[in-house]
A and B are shown apart, each in its own frame.
Chain A
């Protein structure tokens, strides 16, 4: 029964994995998926994420026709194609006569209730009446009218013209050419879903072909989160496959060369495959999806998990006594278990954070390592039952022999350990001075220049709006949100006037509160009702018929008109603005305002966070903060894990032995930090976690061999092979196009070199002098 447990675990994991992969897209590439839910304020919890998820589904498409005449035809052809796709939920055009007339017919009836902020200020001034009369004359004599031709007699004082003018103010200048049309597409699915990504890319490719056939000379550019997420996913997938294949072949070559038999290699692959299978299944069972970085980090488990099989196979290759597979396994079992335990402790430490990204990696690595060990313990003797053919020791051992002799020479010298600790202290001091961190998320991703160029073209035409800086507005009722966003709009106008913000886009000018409309109506009544006769005379002198003044006075005296949120959302006038209304949630109502060109972050934050129900967010700074938090927690928890490991080692090997086993990993980590060029980031730190885990394994293998009084050449062979296989895996990773994978690869490659050289350090305190 006990023997059936392991095959049962593998079968259950494989079954579960097959089930999940067949039904869901399991790979995630979103950096957001690695970050924790917003913790700072429970009221705002989820509101920003909801906005970003909604924005993530938006695609901006720029259709450029050779001239303005062809633009309408080209845009219509593209829009028709997008509307026919089941992957696209809605298509809206940014500009155009239809939209202009929609604005006019929707908002014109409210021209005496919705007022521009200029008009509100003017209405409060003591000379409001004559100034409005002058404006009426200016409006009539203006030589050229840019606004749609509205009914002048129905708006003799030009309130609607002023409102339409105010809508354009604050919006960044549009950079499109006359032949350009901007379309806004809303995806019907998740932009991180591989199927959705590929379908969208195919749709754009076919739209390009159809468009250039229908309107020669026209082009199509597109952007959004999807093309970037797609490129990142494809790169991660292809590099993971390539790196996996290259390192697998490299390991195969090495193992066949050293062991001259395929059996150790088969054991190694079997144990690693078991680890990857159960690690992936565990992450999918707990988190639902697995992130590309977890796969990359976890695939490097290959380097650590294969060590158990290699270590066992090294004893098979260089046995101290006639080979007995069961007895040999029993002899090295403590070192394998101890090595796995320290690895699991260091990885599990990462899992004790609230950060989903680190918890995924911790779970994957811990489960994977434990399973790989179990695979070697359960199946090792089956794979290596027959003794190996006698052969001279492999030449590979030369360097390790030299390192072992160097460290062995210090055995018995009382000053050796204090000198090593002093050296470690000096290295630590040097690391403190030299090592700098940069947690900017842009250091972890580097989109292709072609994608960035296309993005820049489309965003320039769209007015260079930013999505990273925003203010979230909260209220317990819809009316409260609308009122609060009006206050926010005034604060943003003031900041724009001070030059601290270049542009902003919120709903306040388009979606007024009932209180604001009533207040506006009151202002109009206060100024114009007492001057009814002067108004009639003034408008008549400009040539307006008598009915114009009468209608205006009647209008401001009648009950306040209103439109519902549902009407607004259903109207084309809300296209391009709807995503700023987050709507009702269990915690109340939310809306968003976007800021562009913030030049004084502190002043903006202070002003906006001081408003009731408003919270300012700078997502780029927040992501940097999250990554810094990740890195600090990872470093802190790993330090704690190593204190624990030191305790375990002291318990097993005594004080000096325990210290000598723990020192190599500390040296390896610190020296790696010292030699890596440039500022370090989270991925370097994760790389060092791997180095620490493997370095302590190596030291344990030496310590156990020395403790048993055996020669250490078998351990040395195992460690040399482990170092080479790890260097192979991570050396390829260091050549990756993805900065995150490159950081991981370079830190582990460098670290393993140090781990290799320091691994015989326990020989200073343990074993025989001539070992």
Chain B
């Protein structure tokens, strides 16, 4: 384990992983998720497909146990379950915006943003790595998230564990990755629901 890496001298392994993640601007993958909430007496399990775009954020289509689509972007969080898309208005506050940006930054692979938002623990090599991101105290994300553990190989993420401040934890496995090369803005946007494309453009 590398401990909290100094800002200017990351291990070569971290740099290699960051470069590999940054080289994947858009990726699709299947996900399988297990969520543990303190209030419930059994875990919640779900499956579906997810798109991560460095430009526009995350589009997650849960297929089981029921269809639930969610878009998490720096423009807000949008959700629908069968009906029309609903913007979660609470994302408009400055505090919520900070949390949202912090959350999205965990998947960016951007070295500077990682350093700014998290303290990092790295283990493994570029072929099989494990990074634990702990939101720095005082960061908005620290109010909601205790830590995010990422496991992967080169530029692809295979396993994510997120521990929330309220006691909840979420474990997600990713498979069947499809990498898209350097998509144009429109090609990138085409992976997101049509009704939201106008709202997602910067």
Show the binding face of A for B, using Cβ within 8 Å.
67-73, 94-97, 100, 134, 137-138, 140-149, 151-153, 156, 164-169, 171, 173-174, 176, 178, 180, 182, 461, 542-545, 548
Give which listed residue, B38, B70, B92, contacts A174 with CB less than 8 A.
Answer: B92
Complex alpha-carbon distance, A123 and B137, angstroms: 41
Contact A171 B92 (CB under 8 A): yes
Q: Which B residues lie at the A interface, using CB under 8 A?
A: 33, 35, 37-44, 46, 58, 60, 62, 66, 68, 70, 72, 77, 79, 81, 88-101, 103, 116, 136-140, 143-144, 164-168, 170
Q: Give Cα A169–Cα B76 distance, bound, in whole angstroms.
A: 13
- Pairwise interchain contact A152-B37, C-beta atoms closer than 8 A: yes
Please name all residues of chain A whose beta carbon is closer than 8 Å to the beta carbon of B101 when the two chains form the complex. Answer: 178
Residues of chain B contacted by A97 (CB below 8 angstroms)? 95, 143
B138 adjacent to A146 (CB under 8 Å):
no
> Nearest B residue to A153 by beta-carbon distance?
B39
What 9 pairs between A and B have smallest CB-CB spacing? A149-B166, A543-B40, A152-B39, A168-B89, A153-B39, A169-B89, A95-B95, A543-B42, A174-B94
B interface secondary structure, majority = mixed
Q: How far is the CA of A171 from the CA of B89 in the complex (A)?
A: 9
Bound together, the chains give a CA A97 to CA B95 distance in angstroms of: 8
In this complex, the member of A71, A173, A182 whose beta carbon has the largest number of chain B beta carbons within 10 angstroms is A173
Q: Contacting A143 at CB < 8 Å: which of B37, B70, B90, B93?
A: B70
Instruction: Judge whether A165 and B60 touch: CB under 8 Å.
Output: no
Q: Does the CB pair A176–B44 fall under 8 Å?
A: no
21 contacting pairs across A/B (C-beta < 8 A): A69-B138, A140-B40, A141-B44, A141-B46, A143-B58, A143-B72, A144-B77, A145-B164, A146-B100, A149-B166, A149-B168, A152-B37, A152-B38, A152-B40, A156-B39, A165-B90, A168-B91, A168-B93, A182-B94, A543-B42, A544-B40
Chain A residue contacts of B143, Cβ below 8 A: 97, 100, 148
Known contacts A97-B95, A545-B41; 19 additional CB pairs below 8 A are: A68-B139, A68-B140, A69-B137, A95-B93, A96-B95, A138-B79, A140-B40, A141-B35, A142-B79, A144-B77, A146-B77, A146-B90, A149-B165, A151-B39, A165-B90, A168-B89, A178-B140, A543-B41, A543-B42
Known: A138-B68, A165-B88. A146 touches B98 (CB 8 A): no
Chain B min CB distance to A137 (Å)? 7
Q: Known contacts A69-B136, A153-B39; is A146 also within 8 Å of B91 by CB?
A: yes
Q: In the complex, which of the residues B88, B137, B143, B144 has the most CB atoms of chain A within 10 Å of its own CB atom?
A: B88
Write the chain B residue with the least CB distance to A542: B40
Complex contacts, B68 vs chain A, CB 8 Å: 138, 141-142
Q: Which B residues are CB-close (under 8 A) to A169? A: 89
When the two chains form their complex, are residues B62 and A141 in contact, meaning their CB atoms are under 8 A apart? yes
Complex: how many Å from CA A152 to CA B164?
A: 14
Across the interface, do B40 and A95 meet the contact criterion of CB distance under 8 Å?
no
How many residue pairs between the two chains, A and B, have CB atoms under 8 Å in the bound complex? 119
Complex alpha-carbon distance, A100 and B96, angstroms:
10
Selected from A67, A180, A543, the residue in CB contact (under 8 A) with B94 is A180
Is the beta-carbon distance between B103 and A144 smaller than 8 angstroms? yes
B144 in contact with A72 (CB, 8 Å): no
State whether B116 touches A67 (Cβ < 8 A).
yes
Bound complex: CA of A151 vs CA of B38, how far in Å?
A: 9
User: Roughly how many angstroms separate A144 CA and B62 CA in the complex, as a whole number?
Assistant: 13
- Which residue on chain A has the smallest CB distance to residue B31? A143
Chain B nearest CB, measured from A171 CB (Å): 7
Task: Identify the closest chain A residue to B87 (Cβ).
Answer: A169
Q: How far is the CB of B27 from chain A (nearest CB, A)?
A: 17
Decide yes or no: A149 and B164 within 8 Å by CB, A137-B66, A173-B92 being known contacts: yes
Q: B168 to chain A: which residues have CB within 8 Å?
A: 149
In the bound complex, how far is the Cα of B101 from the Cα of A713, in angstroms? 84
Question: Is the beta-carbon distance between A168 and B92 smaller than 8 angstroms?
Answer: yes
Q: What chain A residues lie within 8 Å of B44 (beta carbons)?
A: 140-141, 543
Q: Tell me if A176 and B94 are in contact (CB < 8 A).
A: yes
Inter-chain contact A138/B81, CB cutoff 8 Å: yes
Q: Which residue of B lies closest to A100 (CB)?
A: B95
**Using Cβ atoms and an 8 Å threshold, which residues of chain A touch B136?**
69
Q: Are B89 and A166 in contact (CB under 8 A)?
A: yes
Q: Which residues from A are CB-within-8-Å of B79?
A: 138, 142
Give the chain B neighbours of A543 by CB distance below 8 A: 37, 40-44
Q: How far is the CA of A300 from the CA of B189 in the complex (A)?
A: 67
Q: In the complex the two chains form, is A140's CB within 8 Å of B37's CB?
A: yes
List residues of chain A with CB within 8 A of the CB of B103: 144
Q: Which among B42, B66, B72 is the interface contact of A144 at CB below 8 angstroms?
A: B72
Once bound together, how far apart are the Cα atoms of A180 and B98, in whole Å?
10
Chain B residue with Cβ nearest A170: B89
Q: Determine the chain B residues whose CB is within 8 A of the CB of A167 once the complex forms.
A: 90
Q: How far is the CB of B112 from chain A (nearest CB, A)?
A: 11
User: A134 vs B68: C-alpha distance in the bound complex, in angstroms?
Assistant: 11
Q: Find chain B residues with CB under 8 A from A149 CB.
A: 144, 164-168
Q: Is the CB of B98 within 8 A of A68?
A: yes
